[in-house]
Structure 1
Amino acid sequence: MTTPRTASQPPAPHLPPPLSPGAAALRQGLPIAAVWTVTRLGMLALLLIDRIGDTGVAGEVHGLYRGWYGQLAQGSFPLGDATWQYPPGAAVVFLSPAALPWLSYFQAFVALVLLADALVTFVLARAGRHGAWLWVCGLPLLLNLPLARYDVPVTAVAVVALLALRHRPHLAGALAGIGAMIKVWPLLTLVGTRRGRSTLIVWGSAAASAGVLLGMLLTGFSHPLDFLRQQSARGVQIESLGGTALLLARKWGWPGETVFQYGAFELTGPYVAGVARLSLALSLGALCWLVLWRLGARRWNPAVPYDAAFTAVLLFTVTSRVISPQYLIWLLGLAAVCLTSRYTVLRPVAALMLPAAALSALVFPLMYDEVVAGTTLGCLLMVLRNGLLLGAALLACRRLWTATA
């Protein structure tokens, strides 16, 4: 028997050495970082153009936020200010530009919002690229609005809290409690925690952190709870589901009017109070549904806390008397967290947030005059945007219930 000659064998292919985990993560993250940089530069350019004259989207930072900063810096919450409708923890965000004293208030605020945006992108990219892509590509659909509102920092707190639930429940609860003191809704990130010891840990941590922050604010500032009086006086904003119904009713002879009050355009006239009460009743119904779901849930997987939080915020968004365009920032962040898990059942719901965000940008700022005037185009935009959100909420409820109950 003859042995085959080694010279006739083809040479072994040269394989590159395997990438280290860090290098692989860097290679996967570079496209996300590149798209984030390009899109945020575009958003920043839009904001700087809009900044001229301190009007439009940027005017809220220059006017309202800067004015509140001046009062808070003197140790007092805005007293009797109809536009101040935020929990006392919001003072932390409005005072935070003081950490960058070499910049103007406007510049420092935008810089901190971009930093919070980058943090959300980073933690999402570590958890799962699909979620990071939704956030990076979805937020610019709202144009320059996210950079001139304090909702991105709030969303950052909620996103980190949700992603920390599985391995760091104490941290997750503490962040949710702080977020609730800033804008209430981050507390909903805890609605889907697994029964048992985990629930006790996260809710206990949330109560402790919220209590500590509230105690500090009560000690250091005067009138921290005045927001409750202003919040209770809110009416029906034109961008809400009830507002859309009233705008359509005006086409058929309803005699109501649109007025600017409490820092927003609201509807006044017959039946408005009834519509406002109906919105509150629907929010109470959403709370009852969430309690019923939690009592009936039997199957838990790693995505259930994410899906439950997204569903809860969707429900309270569509039943709100407001539904401002910046609410889509919250929904995009929570939808992105859902996409970090392969177990999520809300992929189609998360995808609906992209057209909803694009429609919200058309509503405000691009065609807000049409919406305020209640023209046919303005009504059509509101029907499409709010109909999409309502459909997404109902679909989320059905899919979450089916997957867990």
Structure 2
Amino acid sequence: MKRRRLLALPLPASAPVLVLALTWLTTRAVMLWLLAHDSLPVLGGRVAREVWHGYHHWYGTLASGAFPAHDPLWQYPPGAGPVLLAPGALPWWSYLQAFVALTVAADAVIAVTLVRAGGRPGRSLYGAALWVGGLPLLLRLPFARYDVQVTALAVVSLLALSRSTRVCGAFVALGALVKVWPALVLLGVERGRDTRSVWTSTAVTGASALALLALAFRDPLAFLLQQGGRGVQIESLGGTVLSVASHAGWPGGVRYRYGAMEFTGPYVPAVAHLSLALTAAAFGLLLLWRFRARRWTEATPYDAALSAVLLFTVTSRVISPQYMVWLLGLAGVCLTSRDTTQRPVAALVLAATAVSSVIFPLHYPEVIDRTWTGTTLMLVRNGLLTTAAALSFTRLWRSGTVRAVPGAKDRAQTLPRSRTPASPVDARGAGGRSRRLPG
């Protein structure tokens, strides 16, 4: 009996991890097979073209010590330079092969990080399951973009917060230098000492890294010139409005600009300006939440990061299918904690991800031509994202600003006995101010 009990002990912990590992290996093998057969007509178009005609082209310029300042397609912060140069460290492969290998490695880092975080006492492996099972919904696209690498930096920064605010800040800075949006992680850090530590680490790391990039490359801020000229991309929320309007007689058209298909014609500038105004309003709402928030749990920084990225995504002039990689990673982080308020939001993100793969590349020509099929697909996907953003912020607001119901268990009461302070003095810092217990 004792021997049978000993043999059974590892199963609850190891069996789910083994299933996740096998699922990751199987799904990633399928994704790689799809990428290797990228030219099959049934797959809807080549997604690896971005690597060959974009990343590899810029690689030559970056290797010479300069950013592609005069290329209108270069719209990335200076931290993207080292990421796009990294495949050169694997000279025995072609640029595409090396890039894909590094992207798969970043994918594995995210999966392992979520498994480690979810395997801790009081945590959940649902986050790892969402990432492992959700990323393949985008077919082979994630391995032909560098958004997986950026998401890895954001995921590591969030999950490092409970252990080291300095490490969290360092990874936030690196992520922001590569693709800006990881800076939104800072919005959810609890006010006080944690905020000062994380923001200081972010500022120091960011300034140091930017200085090194400025010394190594010419024109590190050239990307800012290209961002200002962006219009309304056909997959954005504003683009969906214009697509519907075209069925009511709107005479606008579509053309390729700045690396994306954008609308042209009357009212397009107004839609673009409205999108910018909505982004500013979303940022104001997030700042208001931060000012009003009085309750922080272990999951609050995770929930705030997902909510912020969702709000900025749906109000943006551009929504590319690879943006779903960001949302899957952040939703996965949220689901590692049982305190999260974002479970229904994660389900909506998963549904929007599935629709995104139908849109691009499978039915993208119909989206460009604004057929009823293409327009309906955009309405469904962006409707899901808009609902997710509204629900996410609503639940974040209620969890942080609404007072707890009298008699409800306080978070400190749910901590393991060994982590509960022995006396009130143990839970107080200098000056008698209470501080957050480690999560």
The TM-score normalised by the length of structure 2 is: 0.87
Match of 2:393 in 1: 397
Structure 2 gaps, min length 5: 119-124, 402-439
Match of 1:70 in 2: 60
Any idea what SS the aligned residue of 2:4 has?
A: coil
Match of 1:247 in 2: 243
Does residue 159 of structure 2 align to residue 189 of structure 1? Answer: no
Match of 2:80 in 1: 90
Q: Provide the rounded CA distance (Å) in 2 between the counterparts of 1:52 and 1:365.
A: 12
Match of 2:23 in 1: 35
Any idea what SS the aligned residue of 1:259 has?
A: strand
Aligned partner of 1:333 among 326, 329, 336: 329
Does residue 285 of structure 2 align to residue 289 of structure 1? Answer: yes
Match of 1:223 in 2: 219
Structure 1 gaps, min length 5: 1-11
Q: Describe how 1:45-64 pairs up with structure 2 within 5 A.
A: 45-50=33-38, 56-64=46-54
Which amino acid in the other structure matches residue 97 of structure 1?
P
Q: Describe how 1:5-404 pairs up with structure 2 within 5 A.
A: 15-17=4-6, 25-50=13-38, 56-128=46-118, 129-404=125-400
Deviates more, 1:134-143 or 1:207-216: 207-216
How far has the Cα of 1:27 moved from its partner? 3.9
Number of equivalent positions: 392
Question: What CA deviation, in whole Å up to 9, does each residue of 1:373-405 have, x standing for no partner?
Answer: 000000000000001000000001111111110
Q: Provide the rounded CA distance (Å) in 1 between the counterparts of 2:375 and 2:200.
A: 45
Q: Provide the rounded CA distance (Å) in 1 between the counterparts of 2:16 and 2:233.
A: 43
How far has the Cα of 1:18 moved from its partner? 6.0
Q: Provide the rounded CA distance (Å) in 2 between the counterparts of 1:65 and 1:191.
A: 31
Q: Provide the rounded CA distance (Å) in 2 between the counterparts of 1:56 and 1:387.
A: 27
Which amino acid in the other structure matches residue 102 of structure 2?
L
Q: Provide the rounded CA distance (Å) in 1 between the counterparts of 2:208 and 2:97.
A: 30
Answer whether contact 1:162 1:172 (CA < 8 A) is retained.
yes
Answer whether contact 1:51 1:59 (CA < 8 A) is retained.
no
Q: Provide the rounded CA distance (Å) in 1 between the counterparts of 2:37 and 2:16.
A: 33
Any idea what SS the aligned residue of 1:203 has?
A: helix
Question: What CA deviation, in whole Å up to 9, does each residue of 1:134-156 have, x standing for no partner?
Answer: 00000000011000000000000
Any idea what SS the aligned residue of 1:126 has?
A: helix
Q: Provide the rounded CA distance (Å) in 2 between the counterparts of 1:177 and 1:52.
A: 40
Question: What CA deviation, in whole Å up to 9, does each residue of 1:146-199 have, x standing for no partner?
Answer: 000000000000000000011111000000011000000001112111111100
Question: What CA deviation, in whole Å up to 9, does each residue of 1:2-25 have, x standing for no partner?
Answer: xxxxxxxxxx6753326787x875
Q: Provide the rounded CA distance (Å) in 2 between the counterparts of 1:352 and 1:285.
A: 23
Answer whether contact 1:51 1:58 (CA < 8 A) is retained.
no
How far has the Cα of 1:127 moved from its partner? 1.2
Any idea what SS the aligned residue of 1:17 has?
A: helix
Match of 1:5 in 2: none
Which amino acid in the other structure matches residue 347 of structure 1?
R
Question: What CA deviation, in whole Å up to 9, does each residue of 1:110-154 have, x standing for no partner?
Answer: 000000000000010111111000000000000110000000000
CA RMSD of aligned residues (A): 1.5
The TM-score normalised by the length of structure 1 is: 0.94
Q: 1:152 to 1:14 in 2, by over 3 A?
A: closer
